[in-house]
Structure 1
């Protein structure tokens, strides 16, 4: 594939010879005749680049170090966006003819689009609907009255409980459970009595959910994951939670029941959000933080409980010297007692 073709497709510049490349690879595992993305000049010193046919380089890096590049380079404004586009060029989605495996079970009155692919040992409950160009991988369990939109990919061993609604272009990775009962009980003298959950889960368009996540259905209403939101692996979403549009939720985060997360919110890894908490649009929460009360103003927050990120950094810095302060105070106290 010609470098000029790739550069034109992604709207980038080209420096040097218009060479042919056969693949894209990482600089840590360079394949023969490959195109390598480079965003740190130190990597040129750390790795043997003899096999590299050409580089993809951010414009600022190229302008600063153009004299040391001895191979052609595609020059890009946005390195990460270029990576996404080039991967799509080399590995485009290949359309597949629709099929339903002989070992799959499709319930009564369920509707499966003609070009959908239903893998081995899939179970689709009665009155459910699978949209166009969907891929339902082996071992997926889909309950009754489930709606799945067009162009969705559901990976192996996902379970989707009854009455859930999934929009278009949704990806759900292996082992995730959508629509299980929320953690709701009434505490009595006789013990903890289960509250039946009769709500559902609604996943809007262009959502991606990682592997081994759990999204609980609402008690009476819906648990909602908003359009364009991306959820990492091992995330817990409690019952009645409302997650806004285009959020990013990183691994091992847990969101307590009936909390409301605004649009464009980022929750770092291992964040804990208590139940019945509201988080405003545009908030960013640092990893391992605890959100126990409402955050009503856009900003960056960290700590447990969370505070403004800059204040948290000052507190952490001061905490490292706390033992010195304690030792000093004890010494002063001893001196005063001597007198």
Structure 2
């Protein structure tokens, strides 16, 4: 919880909202509308939680204009309460920052260029010819491979590994356990024996990138793997070698993009989606959870996969699915016979 807190007037100016109630009311933390108490601010963006509004104990609620009159406490009124929540959460963020400076146990090559404002945690390793920008925070156990660079104001949490030649833009946030620049899956087969193809490209990432924990981003086989500005990846996502991920696109957990595929700008890929290799998603493609993308897509929303259903019903449907080929052949025979009968009728 923030010791300082903010008045509702200060918050309203920061997030673009209008105060309804006591503008001098001070809040110190954010909470859900059903669990918030005095000194906390809540938000209401999903109608399913509207029933909690009348009984909330929050000091203030971020909500739509149409709900302001029915709010029993102070309100911050705006068109997009969820966006307001995001901005207030940034104001009240309690994630601790690293202390500037270099921990005595860190190992930094003499050829590395580490800005004096950067912080490097315990047991971190920074190899030769690495460039670390202003205010970069590198947590304990990180390894930054040779010839890599990290832009200003970026933050790497514990145990992030960057292989050689990786380029990270400004204001990146990379969570623990993520590996960037590992080899892509490249092998040639010689008489049943797999021959490794060295991965000669790099990974180049734009500004304002964020990825969750335990993501893997492969280096390119020949050309670079490229990630644009403003890209957001959830935990446990995978981008394979030579993949391209366009500006301001986002991908949820357990999803992956196979080698040499391109995802356009402003795309959203939901959880557990597989994008197969060597295809292209245009700008503004939206893929729902559990889908398999097997061909290039134009702008729009797409779904695949089987929705949840009772097990007995699912078994019946699977049985019918196995019969589809035979049903199709039967339909063709019937259509042909019907055409023959209609022809005979016309001849009479």
**TM-aligned CA deviation for residue 289 of structure 1:** 1.0
Residue 3 of structure 1 pairs with residue 4 of structure 2: no
Q: Is the contact made by 1:16 and 1:71 (CA closer than 8 Å) also made in structure 2?
A: yes
1:30-75 deviations in Å (ceiling 9; x for gaps): 233322222356646458946422222122333xxx1x33222121
Q: Is the contact made by 1:21 and 1:35 (CA closer than 8 Å) also made in structure 2?
A: no
The secondary structure found in structure 1 opposite 2:26 is: coil
Alignment partners' CA distance in 2, 1:96 and 1:184: 38
1:263 counterpart residue number = 265
| Structure 2 gap segments, 5+ residues each | 1-5, 307-315, 328-348
Q: Is the contact made by 1:136 and 1:153 (CA closer than 8 Å) also made in structure 2?
A: yes
Distance 1:322 1:102, change over 3 A: same
Distance 1:304 1:86, change over 3 A: closer
Judge which range, 221-230 or 5-14, deviates more: 5-14
Match of residue 25, structure 1, among 31, 42, 58: 31
2:61 counterpart residue number = 55
Alignment partners' CA distance in 2, 1:184 and 1:167: 27
Residue 12 of structure 1 pairs with residue 13 of structure 2: no
The secondary structure found in structure 1 opposite 2:302 is: strand
**TM-aligned CA deviation for residue 320 of structure 1:** 6.5
Alignment partners' CA distance in 1, 2:183 and 2:242: 11
1:160 counterpart residue number = 162
**TM superposition score normalised by structure 1:** 0.83
Match of residue 243, structure 2, among 198, 216, 241: 241
Match of residue 170, structure 1, among 169, 172, 180: 172
1:187 counterpart residue number = 189
1:37 counterpart residue number = 43
2:331 counterpart residue number = none
1:97-137 deviations in Å (ceiling 9; x for gaps): 63000000001300100000100010000110110000001
Match of residue 197, structure 1, among 187, 193, 199: 199
Aligned residue runs from structure 1 range 124-139, under 5 A? 124-139=126-141
Alignment partners' CA distance in 2, 1:304 and 1:26: 33
1:333 counterpart residue number = none
The secondary structure found in structure 2 opposite 1:83 is: helix
Judge which range, 194-203 or 28-37, deviates more: 28-37
Report how many residues are paired: 309
Q: Aligned Cα RMSD in Å?
A: 2.7
2:345 counterpart residue number = none
Distance 1:171 1:215, change over 3 A: same
Alignment partners' CA distance in 1, 2:128 and 2:279: 37
Judge which range, 13-22 or 183-192, deviates more: 13-22
| Structure 1 gap segments, 5+ residues each | 306-318, 330-339
**TM-aligned CA deviation for residue 80 of structure 1:** 1.6
The secondary structure found in structure 1 opposite 2:59 is: strand
